[in-house]
Chains A and B, each alone.
Chain A
Amino acid sequence: MSSVTVDHIPGKGTDASHGHHEDHAHHMPHGWRRWLFATNHKDIGTMYLIFSFAMFLEGGVLALLLRTELFVPGIQFFQPELFNQFTTMHGLIMVFGAIMPAFVGFANYMIPLQIGASDMAFARMNNFSFWLLPVAAILLTASFFVPGGATAAGWTLYAPLTLQMGPGMDLAIFAVHIMGASSIMGAINIIVTVLNMRAPGMTLMKMPLFCWTWLITAYLLIAVMPVLAAAITMLLTDRHFGTGFFNAAAGGDPVLYQHIFWFFGHPEVYIMILPAFGIVSAIVPAFARKKLFGYASMVYATASIAILSFIVWAHHMFTTGMPVTAQLYFMYATMLISIPTGVKVFNWVATMWKGSMTFETPMLFSVGFIFVFTIGGFTGLILSVAPIDIQVHDTYYVVAHFHYVLVAGSLFALFAGTYYWLPKWTGRMYDERLGKWHFWMSMISFNVTFFPMHFLGLAGMPRRYVDYATQFTDFHMIATVGAFWFGLSQLIFLWAVLKAYAGKGEIAPAKPWEGAEGLEWTVPSPAPFHTFETPPVVK
């Protein structure tokens, strides 16, 4: 993003009056048709964001039910089977319903604006890939109400436990299939858009990092979603069609499932974090009023992380008893990932160094992201060491680790990005006071919730437990209080966003942030229905 400037070419698009006419008369559908048949990237982006927030609330409520049960030892509210269903669905919904679609929403809305394209490459397919998601969400949620309830095998759906589940499991498999199909289509769309539709003059190495991270993420998606689909299809045939892929009694291998799953699952964690890196790389320079430090090394680091993510999957399986050489290989390879990730953190810090910083909400969330995500990165490095991993595998230490990267990483970056681009989406500035409250409440309560989980895990408290030894009580109580606090804090976010959408708040100029760079700030706020019908020229 080093030297992007926009060249307005007055001579181009001579038929200005005609274009103007089209904008308002024909091309902007109204009513429910505008949304159901939406092909406009901004509308589809908005729908993705609304959908993912709804799923975030659903997954969040499930998490709060879990925390309620875990407030004190003993079984108070939910029988173990139901508790397991809540755990599983919390994971599935947050991963496939909340975090991933939220990033796709950002991609849909922002990538065309950032590269100066008029829309996504495949607008009609874009509509389809969005509308698959509510269908999948309904299937997933409905599975609570079938005999036997929702699947209770954990979001990883490990065989052979999944072979024991009721029809809720089949619904989950279909839902994940559909979400996977949606993701693949979304990814194809993003790749083609980024590679084919950049404005003249925007070379790949001038492209905003958010586009870069999404380009790489989209390749990851295309590479691994079919792998997940294969794994769950094998589950399905094992369950109903007499195959024995994962059933030892039929000559199958239960560990095979884990290998296939994590070959998807490990890149998946980068699918959920790389776009976040892109968002933060846009925001930190804007509020430090200084160019991003090491743009090129950021791109290389992102690519290295993506490549490395394919060769480390079995670090999720150290306790399955793999040979010593495999254990060493996966340990070394995993440790390597900390290096490009470290480069990213150093670059962000160097961007802030000798900047001229202000701390509006997007910047707060970005700095919060860097700080807390790095804690998750460190625990990740600690977990990469096989002997330590074996000691804390499947304990709350792991729960703490991945919530530090997924909540304080992905989610905080999503918040940062929302506040950053909300003026562009709504034409209004969000309420800064609400934004700050949201940040501080989220930041503090997040740590209250998840920091004690490190201690629980180190002391040997296994995860996915409905009940626990009395020695763990205090930390669980703290975590539960934090969880409710965190959950309620998200209502501030909802309020702030709705306020801006309701047209309350200062009218936003085209470029509301002094240090912001990029083509998206060259169009008015809110971004009109049609933008860049004539591509801008980037020097």
Chain B
Amino acid sequence: MMKLKGFLLACAMLVSGATAAQVRDMPGGPAVNQLNLSTGVTEIARDVAWLHWMMLIICLVIFLGVFGVMFYSIWAHRKSKGAKSASFHESVGVEIAWTVIPFLIVIGMALPATRTVVAMKDTSGSDMTVKVTGYQWKWGYEYMDGPAEGVKFLSAMSTPLAQIENRESKGEFYLMEVDNPLVVPVGKKVRVMVTAADVIHSWMVPDFGVKQDAIPGFLRGVWFRAEKVGEYRGQCAELCGKDHAFMPIVVKVVTEEEYAAWAEGEQKKLAALADDPNKEWTAEELLARGEQVYGAQCVACHQANGKGVEGAFPALDGSQIVLGPMADQIDIMLNGVEGTAMQSFANLNDVELAAVITYARQSWGNGGQGQDPVVMPAEVAAAR
């Protein structure tokens, strides 16, 4: 019933022309009632559009020729007009001619196409490389070199569910907007290495003339050199399951200065995410970080509730070591406990160790009641 209502509402909106008035060409995406390939912003996209026009015109000419003849004979050679049928039924010359001439036409079509195929495949001499990974149902981007080297993030559709379910009116970039667009500099040859983590996806940006299947277990390279600043949009183009229609691609092409600034900002964020031992950590920050570390490193033995497993792994909740002076706990973390399953966790960095110790001291029944409720990374560093 709700669906029907939504449908009727959508129909009513369309009929009233409300939507028609609102829907405008999407910058970097499809235009309203677009009829042909977009000329795009790369040489390849322009070449493809040119090839398509060439093919279209040649086909149209042949079409008009052949069907001109056919419709002429339909009009002129009909029984009701007294047409008597002729008796010819083969002509070697004619049949050879209409085998050879199309062959020559096809060669004429293949030549310019060959040039474009070779150009599309040539990823050499690129200025930068981005790795793209398809996931169900989002994209992962990773910068392999240049100022943004090491930057990586996930990019998912940002259109709200309410718009998809017709509870809200649809936005300007409906289905073709993401939270984190891929950012690249203008005029640079960007090599894109495409792969996937689960099933086959396809990374498509029509304005770049790029479509590359993302295949698990394989890295496939394509490239583009965007000539104009702007945002360019595409969508996943290989059926990849339930949310196939909901994993758009947005590439933001910026000037080189903007790109450098963006890369710097991302590097800073990356550094911030990485643990900085010299930073002054607050108890809250340590607690939050510690919970992550605990979840990854400790929970298997000591359990989420800190009670451990009776007889095998000691409880941390109410443990004398956790409630006692920090030096003992730091020592156990760094050196382990001989003869038990408690190994050395010296491979963790100082921040992680300080955080997870703080977390243990603050959690469950411990509640920060013991000695040294908060342990700073510097203290772990000193104890190493």
Contacts and interface: CB of A to CB of B under 8 A. Distances in A.
Interface of A: 2, 71-77, 80-81, 84, 152-154, 158, 160-161, 164, 248-249, 252-255, 288-297, 319-321, 323-324, 327-328, 331-332, 335-336, 338-340, 342-343, 345-347, 349-359, 367, 370-371, 374-375, 378, 381-382, 385-388, 390-395, 455, 458-462, 464-475, 477, 515
Interface in B104-122: 106, 109-110, 113-114, 116-118, 120-121
A161 B83 contact: no
B109 A357 contact: no
Interface stretch (B182-190, B210-218, B274-282, B312-320): B210-218
A84 B244 contact: yes
A357 B90 contact: no
Contact of A249 (B25, B36, B106, B217): B217
19 contacts: A74-B165, A80-B246, A158-B200, A252-B217, A289-B79, A320-B213, A321-B215, A321-B220, A353-B69, A353-B86, A356-B84, A356-B85, A358-B80, A385-B51, A388-B51, A391-B48, A458-B35, A462-B235, A470-B23
Contact of A477 (B14, B121, B218, B239): B14
Interface in B301-353: none
B6 A339 contact: no
Contacts of A292: 89
Given A349-B70, A473-B19, A320 B215 contact: yes
A352 B34 CA distance: 38
A103 B32 CA distance: 41
Given A84-B239, A327-B117, A331-B110, A391 B209 contact: yes
A464 B78 contact: no
A370 B70 contact: yes
B163 interface: yes
B85 A335 contact: no
B90 A324 contact: no
Contact of B118 (A71, A319, A324): A324
A474 B33 contact: yes
Given A72-B11, A357-B83, A466-B245, 6 more contacts: A294-B91, A354-B77, A356-B79, A387-B113, A388-B48, A458-B35
Most buried by B among A75, A296, A331, A357: A357
Contacts of A386: 113, 116-117
B384 interface: no
Contact of B89 (A2, A84, A164, A374): A2
Contacts of A164: 199, 241
A170 to B, nearest CB: 18
A460 B38 contact: yes
Contacts of B79: 289, 356-358
B212 A77 contact: no
Contacts of A320: 213, 215, 220
A370 to B, nearest CB: 7
A323 to B, nearest CB: 8
Nearest to B120: A387
B52 interface: yes
B83 A354 contact: yes
Most buried by B among A76, A323, A371, A461: A76
B95 A467 contact: no
Interface of B: 3, 6-7, 10-11, 14, 19, 22-23, 25-26, 29-38, 44-45, 47-48, 51-52, 55-56, 59, 62-63, 66-67, 69-70, 73-74, 77-80, 83-91, 94-95, 98-99, 102-103, 106, 109-110, 113-114, 116-118, 120-121, 163-166, 170, 174-176, 194, 198-200, 202, 204, 206, 209, 211-213, 215-218, 220-222, 234-246
A249 B85 contact: no
Most buried by B among A346, A395, A460: A460
A331 B90 contact: no
Contact of B217 (A248, A331, A357): A248
Contacts of B216: 160, 248-249, 254
B70 A469 contact: no
A355 B176 contact: no
Contact of B10 (A74, A353, A464): A74
Contacts of B241: 84, 152, 161, 164
Contacts of A160: 198-200, 216
- The list of the 7 closest CB pairs from A to B, nearest first, reads A248-B217, A321-B220, A459-B34, A291-B89, A354-B86, A248-B216, A465-B245
B172 to A, nearest CB: 9
Contacts of B199: 160-161, 164, 254
Most buried by B among A2, A161, A294, A515: A161
Contact of A324 (B36, B117, B164): B117
A458 B77 contact: no
B210 to A, nearest CB: 8
A291 B88 CA distance: 8
Contacts of B165: 74-75
Most buried by B among A72, A340, A469: A469
Given A76-B7, A385-B51, A394 B237 contact: yes
Contacts of B113: 331, 385-388
Contacts of B218: 248, 254-255, 321
B244 A465 contact: yes
A394 B238 contact: yes
Contact of A343 (B25, B32, B98, B204): B98
Given A290-B86, A345-B66, A358-B78, A328 B114 contact: yes
Given A72-B11, A349-B69, A331 B117 contact: yes
B83 A343 contact: no
A76 B14 CA distance: 14
B204 A460 contact: yes
Nearest to A346: B98
Contacts of B84: 356
Contacts of B102: 338-339, 342
A374 B87 CA distance: 26
B51 A387 contact: yes
B243 A80 contact: yes
A473 B14 contact: yes
A350 to B, nearest CB: 7
Contacts of B202: 319, 394
A336 B106 contact: yes
Given A296-B90, A336-B106, A393-B237, A467 B51 contact: no
Given A289-B79, A354-B85, A80 B242 contact: yes
A375 B30 CA distance: 25
A334 B69 CA distance: 27
A161 B240 contact: yes
Nearest to A332: B110
B30 A460 contact: yes
Contacts of B52: 382, 388, 391, 458
A397 to B, nearest CB: 9
A470 B168 CA distance: 14
Contacts of B174: 73, 469-470
A289 B86 CA distance: 9
Given A293-B90, A471-B33, A319 B211 contact: yes
B73 A357 contact: yes
